[in-house]
Structure 1
Amino acid sequence: MTLSAGKKAARQSLIVAELALSPTVRTSALAQRLGVSAETVRRDIEELTRRGLVSRTYGGAAGRQLGLQPDFSGRDTEAVAERDAVARLASGFVKPGHVVMIDSGSTAARFAQALAARDERITVVTNGFAVAEAFMRSGNARVMFCPGEAVARERGVYGSETCGFLRRFFADLVFIGASGLTAEGPTDVEAEACAVKRAMLERSDRRMLLIDSTKFGRRHFEIVCPLKSLSAIVADRPPDAALAEKLATNGVAVHAANREEGTA
C-alpha cells in the first residue's frame, strides 16, 4: 500500500491499525510500506504520541493500552525535559511554612527534587518513596510518609490505610500527577493510585495537576476526577484550543513553562 505524504490522516490510521496487530512497529518498515520518508513517519508518530494514541519508542512506536502503562522506572525516562520544566515551574508555588501533599508519580518525584533543592521550611505529606527520598538531604523539610501497602512497580504505598491517613490533615497545596488529561478530567491506569489522588484532592482548596504535554488528550482506564475538581494544571506548554477551552470553562488555570519561564 502506498500513500502520498499529504494523506496524513490515512497514514496515521494505518499506523494505529498496525499497532492493534503488533505490540511495536519500526519506523523504517512503516516508511517502506507507506511509500514515504522515515522523517514523515516520525512526524506522524510524534503527533499520535501527543494525542495519546501511541507511545514513541527508539526507532518506532508502541501501542497504548487503556489498562497498561510502564512501571515507575520506565515512565521516569519519558519526556524528561518536559517534566523537568513542569517541576521547576511548580516548585515556585510553594512558600515557607506551607503544608503540601504530593502523590507518588514519576512527575511528582521530579517536582519533589526541584522543591527539595530550594530547601524551604515546609511540611510534605506523601505516599511516594521517591518523593520522600528527595527531601532526605533537606535540613528544613518535615516529611510525613503515609502507611499502606507498598507497591514496588509504582514506588509508593496505597490502600485504605493510606487514604485514611491523608484525611487526618489539611494542606495548603496538593500536587498530583496523571497518565493523561482529557476534556473529562485527568486519567490514570491504577485504581489504587486514583483513590489516593482523590483523597489528597479533598484536603486542600489549591489542587494542582502536574502534567507534561505528551499526555494531553490521552485516555486511560479511570478518570481521577472531573476538571472542576482542579484549581490549576502546570505543564511544559499550553494545551490545544479545545482542551484549553474546557479547562477555562471549568475554572482551571493553566500555567505553562514555555510561557512563564521561557523554556522550550
Structure 2
Amino acid sequence: MSQAAVEQRRQDVLRCVTEHGPLRIDDLAVRFGVSLMTMHRDLDDLAGRRLLRKERGRAVAFPALTRETATRFRTGTALAAKTALCAAVTGRITSGMTVLMDDSTTLYPLTDALARLEGLTVVTNSVGIARRLSPAPAVEVTLLGGRYHGEFDSCTGAEVARGLSRVHADLALMSATAVMEGRLFHPLREYADVKEAMLASADRSLLLADHTKFGKTATHAHGTVEAYEAVITDTGTPADQLAAVRAMGVAVETAVPAGGGATGAAAAAE
C-alpha cells in the first residue's frame, strides 16, 4: 500500500474518532479492516503528531475547540480544496506588491507560487507561512511578533496590531474559521482582532474559505463578507450559503478541487 493510501486511512481513523468519541482500538481495527498491529501503528503516528490520544486501549479525540483552531489539525483538512482556492488567486498577486496573509492554513499552498515572484513583500502573523517563504531570496517577509501561540504557530496581541497600523498593503488574503450567511466567526477573540486589523491595513481583501467553513458559527464575530472584494470557495459549498454572500453584493468565485470533476481551479465570478 502506498504512503498516500496509509495517510488517507489515518485521516479517516482520525475523523471517525472525532465524530464518534472514544473508540476501542480493536474495534477500530475491525472497522477499517486492518490488523491490530497496523491499527496501533496508525494510532501511534496520529498520537505522535498530537492529533489524538491513546489511553487504556482506546483512541480519544481532543476537545472540539482545539480541533477547530490548532494548526496541526487544520493543515491536512480539505487540502485539495485549499490548493484549488490558492490557485484561483495566484494571478492577482504580482511582483512588487505588499501582501498581508493571516495565519490560516488555507493559505499554505499559496506559498510555493509566491516564492517565485520578484520583489514581493509578505506581512504575516503566521510563523508557518514565514517559515515556508524563508527559502525564497526574492521575497521579503515581515513577521508580526507578539504573543506566540504554539498550538496555532502564530502571534496575536497589541504588538501585532501596532505593526499592522504601520503597514499599507495592496492586498490582504484571509480565511475564516466559520461563515454563516455571510457573517464571519472565530473561536478566539484575539484572532478575530487580528483579522479586523489586517482588513484596515489593506487596499483590497479576498476571503478564501473552503466548503467546510460554511454553515457554522463560533464565539466571536469579526464582521461580514462585505469587507472583501470577493469570496473564493470551492464547489462543495452549500448553495444557500453562497446565495447569502451574493445577497450582500459580494462576488463569489468557485474553484474546482483536483479530482472534483475538472482540472485545476475553475473560477466563476458572479
TM over 0.5: yes
Q: Residue 183 of structure 1 contacts residue 227 of structure 1 at CA under 8 Å; is this kept in 2? A: no
Q: Could you report, residue by residue, the CA deviation over 1:88-129 in whole angstroms, capped at 9, with x for unpaired residues?
A: 22222101111100011211223233422x333211111101
Greater relative CO (CA pairs within 8 A, separation 6+) = 1
Cα distance in 2 for residues equivalent to 1:136 and 1:262 = 30
Aligned length: 215
Q: 1:67 to 1:249 in 2, by over 3 A?
A: farther
> For residue 79 of structure 1, what is the aligned residue in structure 2?
78
Q: Residue 102 of structure 2 contacts residue 124 of structure 2 at CA under 8 Å; is this kept in 1? A: yes
> What residue identity is the alignment partner of 1:76?
T
Find runs of 4+ consecutive structure 1 residues off by over 6 angstroms. none
Cα distance in 2 for residues equivalent to 1:88 and 1:257 = 8
TM-score normalised per structure 2: 0.69
RMSD (Å), alpha carbons: 3.1
Q: Residue 165 of structure 2 contacts residue 197 of structure 2 at CA under 8 Å; is this kept in 1? A: yes
By how many angstroms is 1:163 displaced? 0.9
For structure 1, which runs of at least 5 residues remain unmatched after alignment?
A: 1-18, 30-37, 39-56
Q: Could you report, residue by residue, the CA deviation over 1:189-219 in whole angstroms, capped at 9, with x for unpaired residues?
A: 1211111111001112311111111222122
Q: Could you report, residue by residue, the CA deviation over 1:25-77 in whole angstroms, capped at 9, with x for unpaired residues?
A: 79xx9xxxxxxxx9xxxxxxxxxxxxxxxxxx9xxxx8995786251011111
> What residue identity is the alignment partner of 1:231?
E
Q: 1:219 to 1:25 in 2, by over 3 A?
A: farther
Correspondences of 1:1-264 after superposition (within 5 Å) = 23=21, 65=64, 69-116=68-115, 118-237=116-235, 239-258=237-256, 262-263=263-264
Q: Residue 184 of structure 1 contacts residue 223 of structure 1 at CA under 8 Å; is this kept in 2? A: no
Cα distance in 2 for residues equivalent to 1:120 and 1:232 = 25
For structure 2, which runs of at least 5 residues remain unmatched after alignment?
A: 1-18, 33-51, 53-60, 266-270
Cα distance in 2 for residues equivalent to 1:258 and 1:82 = 7
Identity of aligned residues (%): 27
> What residue identity is the alignment partner of 1:97?
G
